[in-house]
Chain A
Amino acid sequence: MLIRRPSDIRPSEITPQSAYMSRRQWMTGAGAALLVASLSAQRPARASSLGAIVNSAYSVDEKRTSLEDVTHYNNFYEFGLNKEDPAKVAPGLLKTRPWTVTVDGECAKPATIDIDSLMRAGDLEERVYRHRCVEAWSMVIPWVGIPLSAVLRRFEPTSKAKFVAFQTLMDPKQLPGESNTLFYSWPYREGLRLDEAMHPLAFLAVGLYGDALPAQNGAPIRLVVPWKYGFKSIKSIVAIRFVEQQPPTLWNSQAPNEYGFYSNVNPNVDHPRWSQGKERRIGEFARRPTLMFNGYAEQVASLYSGMDLGVFF
């Protein structure tokens, strides 16, 4: 009988130091997250028109953009191409109740579910996130909602689920911009890799500034992915699908050289038509430097380790 001597351990079986160090880091992080969770559980929830809202530890401590600017400077092409259009048009046209979201694809429990029961997947949180548009302007917005992962888990994605695809309501009567089919292939579609979607920062918002989302901001339910350019955060969602292949997205199919699938905020990768190194925070005069992953590098950079972000922009 052959007895393996200790020296027979192949080098590949040895965990490299960086890996176990990162495991330790992760454990510390997990511990911290647990602590944060217990802290936030103790934090008193405050009442709002949406019900009780808990403050989130993921919030940034930066001056919030005024409600007026957040609700009157919107890129929501389904309601017009000018940023003033959605505030004028959307509230009168978009019917946000009843509203159902269909979740299907590679999951054990596909379902079409009413938005109000969908949001019961977790406590409503307020998260003050930086919002960086691909057009080099930014805001700080107090969203209200629940982590995307809490919702997605309910549908039990299978091992085949590699990506999550999202879709906006398709109804040109309510979203008149969808009649403009010459330049756009509606409905609006977006997608995330499953690990991005399950990241604790990925968020489903139903409100802002403590109240229900205004129509022009993507009512009644929208995605918020704060480390990516704003257009990834799809509005007025009616369908979520777990898929095996990277799903097509509207801006990426429109101009693949300008809008990558990932579209992580990156000051070092220019948009073909302008530089991304600086941004104008709405309400401020001088441009401020844009931060890697919009300032969320510490939380999300590991999702992209080993990837060339100039290629996968």
Chain B
Amino acid sequence: MLGETSPSTPFGRRPARTTSLGRSLVRGGVHLLCFVPLLTLATSGLLGELGANPIEALVRGLGDWALRFLVLVLAVSPLRRLTGWSVLAGYRRMLGLWAFAYAGFHVASYVVLDQFFDWANIGHEILQHKFITAGMVALSLMLPLAATSTNAMIRRLGGRRWRRLHQAVYVVGPLAVIHYVWMVKADITQPLVYAALIAVLLAYRGVMLLWDVRMGPSDQ
């Protein structure tokens, strides 16, 4: 990924200081944190605390979190470069998978709860209504990334090809924001916040790329 230089794998060097038990505990904790929004949405749904239109609240809640995780995953590399914390790189794939999980649950809740498998109408919406189209394209682009997220797939593809493939996230982020902007009625303040975050994170990569080309790669 842009802005990363020396590591031999796409996730950077394993930090040698941390014990493997400590690392596992931290990773487990992060997984647990990522699981909290899903758990909260599901339980408040079951307890009837999602308001008068719980299905809409659930679909939108899951979509919000998919977008938040996309922002997080795009923030990993810039943060790592700015702070020099190479340990962050180890969480990029995990956050990406959570983004995919939330996007998947988001679409599943739309298909199952909102549309109740009305495939004719779902097809109609994907083809006729551009905000759904954008969302579906975004999810489709995430599929191959999720499918190639195992160590075995990285070895099979080779680091360089794997990295190039996973640059698709630079398209998924903006598409997800466009999906949100097109959905909103008039006041697009909320989606613009996400748009700004993603724009900054992508622009940072562009600037760093130019910088590295001119100055030679800087190390952390």
Residues of chain A having any CB pair with chain B under 8 Å: 68-69, 72-73, 77, 81, 83-84, 137, 180, 182-184, 254-255, 270, 272-275, 277-278, 280, 282-283, 285-287
How many B residues touch A, CB cutoff 8 Å? 24
Q: Which of B52, B121, B129 contacts A282 (CB 8 A)?
A: B52
Q: Which residue of B lies closest to A70 (CB)?
A: B52
Interface string of B110-123 (1 = CB under 8 A from A): 00011110100100
Q: Are B116 and A287 in contact (CB under 8 A)?
A: yes
Whether B40 sits at the interface, judged by CB under 8 Å, is: no
Q: Are B52 and A83 in contact (CB under 8 A)?
A: yes
Cα distance, A183 to B187, chains bound together (Å): 6
Q: Which residue of A lies closest to B131 (CB)?
A: A273
Q: Are A275 and B116 in contact (CB under 8 A)?
A: no
Q: Which residue of A lies closest to B186 (CB)?
A: A183
Known: A68-B52, A137-B56, A286-B116. 16 other contacts (CB 8 A): A73-B51, A73-B52, A83-B51, A83-B53, A183-B187, A184-B187, A273-B131, A275-B121, A275-B124, A275-B128, A275-B129, A278-B118, A280-B53, A282-B52, A282-B53, A287-B114
**Residues in A whose Cβ lies below 8 Å from that of B131:** 273
Q: Are B55 and A280 in contact (CB under 8 A)?
A: yes
29 pairs, A vs B, C-beta closer than 8 Å: A69-B52, A73-B53, A81-B187, A83-B51, A83-B53, A137-B53, A180-B187, A183-B187, A183-B188, A184-B186, A254-B186, A270-B128, A270-B129, A272-B129, A273-B131, A273-B183, A274-B125, A275-B125, A275-B128, A275-B129, A278-B118, A278-B121, A280-B53, A280-B55, A280-B56, A282-B53, A283-B52, A285-B113, A287-B116
Distance to closest chain A CB from B212 (angstroms) = 39
Whether B182 sits at the interface, judged by CB under 8 Å, is: yes
**Residues in A whose Cβ lies below 8 Å from that of B132:** 274
Cα distance, A69 to B128, chains bound together (Å): 31
Interface string of B45-60 (1 = CB under 8 A from A): 0000001110110000
Number of A-B contacts (CB under 8 A): 59
Q: Are A274 and B129 in contact (CB under 8 A)?
A: yes
**Residues in B whose Cβ lies below 8 Å from that of A285:** 55, 113, 116
**Residues in A whose Cβ lies below 8 Å from that of B114:** 280, 287
Q: Are A273 and B129 in contact (CB under 8 A)?
A: yes
Q: Which residue of B lies closest to A254 (CB)?
A: B186
Q: Which residue of B lies closest to A75 (CB)?
A: B185
Q: Are A72 and B51 in contact (CB under 8 A)?
A: yes
Cα distance, A72 to B114, chains bound together (Å): 21
Q: Among residues 163 to 220 in chain B, which have CB atoms less than 8 Å away from a CB atom of chain A?
A: 182-183, 186-189
Q: Are B115 and A287 in contact (CB under 8 A)?
A: yes
Cα distance, A84 to B54, chains bound together (Å): 12
Q: Which residue of A lies closest to B188 (CB)?
A: A183
Distance to closest chain A CB from B71 (angstroms) = 21
Q: Which residue of B lies closest to A65 (CB)?
A: B52
Distance to closest chain B CB from A67 (angstroms) = 11
**Residues in A whose Cβ lies below 8 Å from that of B55:** 280, 285
**Residues in B whose Cβ lies below 8 Å from that of A272:** 129
Q: Are B186 and A84 in contact (CB under 8 A)?
A: no
Distance to closest chain B CB from A307 (angstroms) = 24
**Residues in B whose Cβ lies below 8 Å from that of A280:** 53, 55-56, 114
Cα distance, A277 to B129, chains bound together (Å): 14
Q: Which residue of B lies closest to A134 (CB)?
A: B185
Distance to closest chain B CB from A213 (angstroms) = 18
**Residues in A whose Cβ lies below 8 Å from that of B125:** 274-275
Cα distance, A83 to B183, chains bound together (Å): 16
Distance to closest chain A CB from B34 (angstroms) = 25
Given A275-B125, A278-B121, A286-B116: A255 in contact with B51 (beta carbons within 8 A) = no
